[in-house]
Amino acid sequence: MADITALVHRFHLDAWNRWDDSVVDEILAPDFVFRGSLGDEVHGPDGWRSYRDKIRSAVPDFTNTIVDLVAAGDRAAARLNYTGHHQGTLLGVAGTGRPIGYSGAAFFTSATGRLAAAWVLGDLDSLRHQLSQPTAGT
């Protein structure tokens, strides 16, 4: 049975940063519940894939960096930094090509050796500010 810290690391490093679809069904429970920082709530591995792909279409090099991770039993909390380049529509703003970076936190529960739920809070105020900045020459 997988330790929750190992699951959280695989979730961010493999499923997100490497976009490795082969690990998604291994680490996410069939009834996984994910609430992303954009406010969407999705269910199951396929629901999470659709959320991930929405982010990927806007920020193809979206990267999660775990800054801190604490765990107790079947629960974990992570402080994260998110980075990438804004290439497609995100929060209603067309791609700018500019780098973005913001902070967030994620809270996880596990059951039967897989992640059962994740609730993510991102600093959307900072992200919106970055997306709303005028591009050079405007």
Where residue 135 falls among pLDDT bands split at 50, 70, 90?
low
**Structure confidence at residue 138 (pLDDT):** 47
Span 98-114, average pLDDT: 97
Q: What is the pTM of this model?
A: 0.92
CA nearest 8: which of 62, 84, 58, 72? 72
Span 95-110, average pLDDT: 97
- Given the candidates 3.10.450.50, 3.40.718.10, 3.30.70.20, 3.90.470.20, the CATH classification of the domain at 4-132 is 3.10.450.50
**What is the per-residue pLDDT across 109-130, written as a single tens digit (0 to 9) for each?**
999 999 999 999 999 999 999 9
**How far is residue 104's CA from residue 102's CA, in Å, rounded to a whole number?**
7
Domain ranges of the chain: 4-132
CA nearest 94: which of 46, 34, 48, 138? 138
The H or E element containing residue 125 is helix 124-132
For residue 79, give both structure tokens: 């402080």
Cβ of 103: how many Cβ atoms within 10 Å? 15
